[in-house]
Structure 1
Amino acid sequence: MATSLNRTEKEGAAMLSLTGRFPAAVGDMNTQKKRVLQYLRSQTSLLDKYVLMARLRATHMHLFYKIVVEELQEMAPIIYTPTVGTACLEYSNIYPFLSPPGVPDGLFLSGMDDYETLCDTIRNYNSSSAGSPEIAVISDGSRILGIGDLSCNGMGIPIGKLQLYVAGAGIDPRRTLPILLDLGTNNERLRTDPFYIGQRKPRPEDNEFYETVGRVLKALKTVYPSLLIQFEDWSSEHAFGLLEKYQNQLLCFNDDIQGTGAVILSGIINAITLAHTESGVSPDIHRIIFYGAGSAAIGVARQIQSYFQIDCGMTEEQARRHFWIVDSKGLVTLDRGDKLPQHKVYYARNDNGGQQYKSLLDIVNYIRPTVLIGLSSTPGAFNTQILNRMAELNARPIVFPLSNPSTKAECTFAEAMLATDNRVIFASGTAFPAYAIPETQTTCYPAQGNNMYIFPGLGLGAVLAQPKAISDIMIYKAAKALAASLTVQERKQGWLYPSLDRIRQVSAIIAEAVCCESIEEGSATNEVKDAFAKGQLLSYIEDHMWSPEPKLLKNKI
């Protein structure tokens, strides 16, 4: 309830020359939160809600994060997927309304700048009294979600990801750095749009691209040597190229490849366990089709392969043979007759006897898969005929339509349930509503393979442990920790992922796994090693998680 200013507050207002600039009533944070939520919920457009929350973040950071942290289930779809896709499409139009004049929405870097200019620009951006940035999310906007090349309009992605770092793992928002590297765009519509805010030139060839990105990364690490860099929404070829080049040189990871791979690995581990428990399918006989062959698909496949190698004791070659990759031309084979991009070659089949398979139904009939994973951005690709066939082949078919946003998903939860007699083990990349089985009125809830389960905890662990690089085994340990984080009740309900309401607890568990692996590899800080030696590592991690409530900030303010 609002109250009048007391004498001390009046004196303080006078000292700050605020007298007369604000109304007399003062509301506490809970009252302010209720006011914002009431107005936010009155808006019918998700884009309007996005703009409102962006403005609040720029003007009242603590209130923004109080709402996001405490109402995460409601806020996540507004500040990130699916709304962020629309926000990116409209970014040049809504840009003036996202923050007050003079308050930057993120750091825009140009490929034309030299090294010294880049260093100066990076230094000039940070004005926080909280210290140097700990995490940067950087994109060139070349492959935004399932939409494509949006270049500068893609700034909403680094901003959104860092908001989820704060909400999910307690990264101090004042120590986050959203970056859009403007290299031009091949999107002709943007180049001719009078309101477009980026450079109106084509993207560079590969040689210039890698030289420019290398210069930017060098500048970032010069200014902030301990910075964790997360690559986000780069084109598939460049995503793999950058990861291969810098994975062992810098403290960095690619969320589309490694984060997506880890979170889906976690869900697959629990799905395989469920299928084994309920229908006796041995973990080592699964046959997995990937419909879609971009960076996310190959990243997921590599992570699942690590499970077969480490947990099932297979050789690399044995594990690799459990995967079949399908692109827009059909089953990926070595003798298909087209030149395969490098990232597809590893899983290209050579045991097809010269036979080529184009349609997904023909491929399903040929392979008889136990698992069907979609990362194609092709809505409806898992149609009733495909899902019926999966149910004929398996007592508990595993179907993961992972494309984002929901309009790009290969099937919905309701479609999968109906077509499989409610036997599907399901996880999607976007949120779907619950489904009530008509005969029993039992309500079933779909799992969502949300990267938010992995990257906040992975990032927090890396920030605290400060390893020289994020190793493949760290990613694997993060996925295993997520899979093991379910409560007994969540497992009884057949869930594949924990409740998002527990995301900070889950992120701390994942960060602990990352720190432990960093200790094992001999690369952790002394503080992390000391906390581990005392049996207090989890508490140490929790103590370093930022909270929007001042009384909970401990030594972080």
Structure 2
Amino acid sequence: MLRINASGLRLISKSLNVQSVKAVKNIAIDDKDRLSKPRSQIKGVELLRNPSLYKGMAFTVEERQLLGIHGLLPPAVLSQQVQCHRIMENFRREKDDLSRYIALTNLQYRNEKLFYKVLIDNLELLMPIVYTPTVGLACQKYGIAFRRSKGLYITIHDKGHIYDVLCNWPESVVKAIVVTDGERILGLGDLGCYGMGIPIGKLSLYTALAGIYPTHCLPIMLDVGTNNQQLLDDPLYIGLRQKRVTGKVYEEFMDEFMDAVVARFGYNCLIQFEDFASHNAYKFLQKYQEKYCMFNDDIQGTAAVALAGLMTSLRVTGTPLEENKILFVGAGQAACGIADLVALAISRKANITFEQACSRIYMFDVDGLLVEDRPEGQLDGPKNKYTKQSLRPTKNLSDAVEQIKPTALIGATGVGGIFTESVIRKMGQLNERPVIFALSNPTHKAECTAQQAYEFTDGRCLFSSGSPFKPVELNGKTYVPGQGNNSYIFPGVALATTVFQSKHIDEEVFLIAARTLSEQVSESDLVAGQLYPPMKQIQNVSVKIAVEISKYYYETELASLYPAPYDLESYIRDQLYDTTYQSYVPNTWTWPEEHTKPKDFN
């Protein structure tokens, strides 16, 4: 297969005539090896059914005649911009967010480039629809929302021939996989096969926020059953109607899956784990991290975005990271992941051991404050390193805050409203600028609302949430709450990893991502109360994160792409997915307006 990047084209131009170069450009940049057969062979109805090639009514008269679709479309020729306008007009007429989600999903299945063009151009409006919080509702209603299969469904009954199932995927080049078994979808619990909405949504953001080609992305649902009896009784349920398989059989199934991915798509194929139950999430991360190119977004992505928010808050509070006292409410995979990365950052910053850094971090779980000799005892797991000796047991969060006097309160519980008025007011009494993160998704699971956080601290808190909240008006001032959304992190990590073909993804990658994200917050953002850059800047943020991570990959010899590009950022931007329609008429290819024409193309 022909694979030529922009640098290669410049070399070719020196030895080929201009007409030949135009033909090569048309193949190399337009197709990028994304199709299983040449474009010239895809015509007629087959082309109209291919979402990667379909342009709706933007096909010109010449294209319609050449491609055998003349008469199969209304006669008018509408530009992509007009199509975007029509999509948004219909979007606004939908009666609720679930209907809007379904409408956008149908567009994605029908016209890929138009879907991503609309999403990118209206990012702040559409992100809550394609991602949290609406994606949570869509997963709960997936039996109703389901229209067309997207991605792969691998069941426990496929154990022994998972590789064969992967071979059924039509794209031979897959660079990124998002996989879930649906056991812990957001804060909603076991949704079984309905959890497929999460991998699909995440990979949509891979493309929209990081420019990774959609045909290089593969969402996978590992269906091993569900313990949600309501789903098992649901006549619309699309998954296996059986209880979850656990134990040795389940672990062998996962081992086979990881090996099958490598056999089918290579060692450099990125595998992002999403919404596995806490005990499995940590186990698989420890088991696979150094053997495969993988990461767990719930643990590491959440950790990086929360750490970035903390780093940004230091510019306001003036308190060094190592001098903060941080209380986590919740001790699951998200909380422990954040705590571990924060402790690693503290240890690097203060030049102390990881264990010493852990002394600055406290945890409050379902049984209360994590202290030695509490009546409920401790459970084995990653939270135990944060057990304290000098504090008394308590199940009252306000009492725990009084004992610890934390500078930052971070919630990752999935329990809506656990940050009560007394808790928030106590944080305000103890700190001039209290840091309060309510990170649980979706919105109704947040530990407190933005309104409550600002109101009970007289507007002094530095607030962030997992799901979006509207700006808050208080005492004549407008506060714009930050959203500690993983989408600030995982697209950039994936972009660097897929472009430079990293062998592994270690914890340093997420420290780099957190630091780089924090550096993108401007002073004007801080004045408005934001701890993260505006959502409309997230594509550029992803590129900046990818650049810094790629430097690390080359420094540590984790990258597999050699020789290393001279200008990493330019090389990354050359690889990004282009949402503009391309011409199908021979010898009419032109450089998209937003790209700069190379100097040696005349």
Taking structure 2 as the reference length, what is the TM-score of the superposition?
Answer: 0.85
12 and 273 in structure 1: CA distance in 2 versus 1, 3 angstrom threshold: closer
Give CA deviations for 1:297-324 in whole Å, capped at 9, x if unaligned. 1001111111211122232122101111
- Matching of residue 546 in structure 1 with residue 577 in structure 2: yes
Q: Is the 8 A contact 1:135 1:177 kept in 2?
A: yes
Q: Is the 8 A contact 1:274 1:494 kept in 2?
A: no
| Separation (CA, whole Å) in 1 of partners of 2:454 and 2:510 | 32
- Matching of residue 351 in structure 1 with residue 390 in structure 2: yes
Residue type of the alignment partner of 2:288: Y
| Separation (CA, whole Å) in 1 of partners of 2:415 and 2:369 | 16
Q: Is the 8 A contact 1:271 1:496 kept in 2?
A: yes
Q: Aligned to 1:209, which of 225, 245, 250? A: 250
Q: Is the 8 A contact 2:322 2:349 kept in 1?
A: no
| Separation (CA, whole Å) in 2 of partners of 1:407 and 1:107 | 30
- Matching of residue 57 in structure 1 with residue 108 in structure 2: yes
Q: Equivalent residue of 1:436, what SS? A: strand
Q: Aligned to 2:90, which of 23, 33, 39? A: 39
2:357 maps to: 319
Q: Aligned to 1:380, which of 417, 421, 427? A: 417
Give CA deviations for 1:46-88 in whole Å, capped at 9, x if unaligned. 0000111101000111100000111111111111111111110
Q: Is the 8 A contact 2:155 2:224 kept in 1?
A: yes
Residue type of the alignment partner of 2:548: A
Which deviates further from its counterpart, 483-492 or 213-222? 483-492
* Residue 395 (structure 1) shift: 0.6
Residue type of the alignment partner of 1:371: A
| Separation (CA, whole Å) in 1 of partners of 2:326 and 2:203 | 33
**Stretches of structure 1 lacking an aligned partner (at least 5 in a row):** none
* Residue 14 (structure 1) shift: 4.4
Q: Is the 8 A contact 2:378 2:384 kept in 1?
A: no
Q: Is the 8 A contact 1:334 1:345 kept in 2?
A: no
* Residue 110 (structure 1) shift: 1.1
9 and 146 in structure 1: CA distance in 2 versus 1, 3 angstrom threshold: closer
2:564 maps to: 530
- Matching of residue 219 in structure 1 with residue 260 in structure 2: yes
* Residue 327 (structure 1) shift: 1.1
| Separation (CA, whole Å) in 2 of partners of 1:537 and 1:109 | 37
- Matching of residue 291 in structure 1 with residue 303 in structure 2: no
Residue type of the alignment partner of 1:84: V
Question: Over aligned residue pairs, what C-alpha RMSD do you find?
Answer: 1.9
* Residue 13 (structure 1) shift: 3.0
* Residue 489 (structure 1) shift: 3.4
| Separation (CA, whole Å) in 2 of partners of 1:126 and 1:309 | 47
| Separation (CA, whole Å) in 1 of partners of 2:498 and 2:119 | 22
Same amino acid, percent of matched pairs: 37
Q: Aligned to 2:497, which of 455, 458, 462? A: 462
Q: How does 1:77-476 map to 2 (within 5 A)?
A: 77-95=128-146, 97=147, 99=148, 104-115=149-160, 117-127=161-171, 132-225=173-266, 226-276=268-318, 281-336=319-374, 337-352=376-391, 355-438=392-475, 441-476=476-511
Q: Aligned to 1:509, which of 539, 544, 548? A: 544
Q: Equivalent residue of 1:346, what SS? A: helix
Q: Equivalent residue of 1:530, what SS? A: coil
Which deviates further from its counterpart, 228-237 or 505-514? 505-514
Residue type of the alignment partner of 1:538: E
Q: Aligned to 2:79, which of 28, 34, 47? A: 28
Q: Is the 8 A contact 1:152 1:198 kept in 2?
A: yes
- Matching of residue 66 in structure 1 with residue 113 in structure 2: no
| Separation (CA, whole Å) in 1 of partners of 2:530 and 2:451 | 17
Q: Is the 8 A contact 1:237 1:343 kept in 2?
A: no
Residue type of the alignment partner of 2:296: N
* Residue 93 (structure 1) shift: 2.2
Residue type of the alignment partner of 2:122: E
16 and 464 in structure 1: CA distance in 2 versus 1, 3 angstrom threshold: closer
126 and 349 in structure 1: CA distance in 2 versus 1, 3 angstrom threshold: farther
Q: Is the 8 A contact 1:401 1:410 kept in 2?
A: yes
Q: Aligned to 2:535, which of 478, 484, 500? A: 500
Give CA deviations for 1:440-494 in whole Å, capped at 9, x if unaligned. x221101110101000000111112222210111111111111112234334545
Residue type of the alignment partner of 2:390: D
Q: Is the 8 A contact 2:136 2:442 kept in 1?
A: yes
Q: Equivalent residue of 2:157, what SS? A: coil
Q: Is the 8 A contact 1:126 1:132 kept in 2?
A: no
Which deviates further from its counterpart, 15-24 or 497-506? 15-24
Q: Is the 8 A contact 1:464 1:525 kept in 2?
A: no
* Residue 216 (structure 1) shift: 0.8
132 and 356 in structure 1: CA distance in 2 versus 1, 3 angstrom threshold: same
Which deviates further from its counterpart, 449-458 or 343-352? 343-352
Q: Is the 8 A contact 1:399 1:427 kept in 2?
A: yes
Q: Equivalent residue of 1:304, what SS? A: helix
| Separation (CA, whole Å) in 2 of partners of 1:469 and 1:231 | 14
Residue type of the alignment partner of 1:361: S
| Separation (CA, whole Å) in 2 of partners of 1:38 and 1:341 | 53
2:42 maps to: none
| Number of residues of Structure 1 aligned to a counterpart in Structure 2 | 528
Q: Equivalent residue of 1:311, what SS? A: helix
Q: Is the 8 A contact 2:480 2:529 kept in 1?
A: no
| Separation (CA, whole Å) in 2 of partners of 1:383 and 1:530 | 52
Q: Equivalent residue of 2:168, what SS? A: helix
Q: Is the 8 A contact 1:457 1:510 kept in 2?
A: yes
Give CA deviations for 1:230-285 in whole Å, capped at 9, x if unaligned. 00000000000000000000000000000000010011011123111xxxx34332
111 and 554 in structure 1: CA distance in 2 versus 1, 3 angstrom threshold: farther
* Residue 22 (structure 1) shift: 2.1
Q: Is the 8 A contact 2:324 2:408 kept in 1?
A: yes
Q: Is the 8 A contact 1:273 1:283 kept in 2?
A: no
Q: Is the 8 A contact 2:428 2:457 kept in 1?
A: yes
Q: Is the 8 A contact 2:312 2:521 kept in 1?
A: no
Taking structure 1 as the reference length, what is the TM-score of the superposition?
Answer: 0.91
2:586 maps to: none
* Residue 328 (structure 1) shift: 1.2
* Residue 123 (structure 1) shift: 1.5
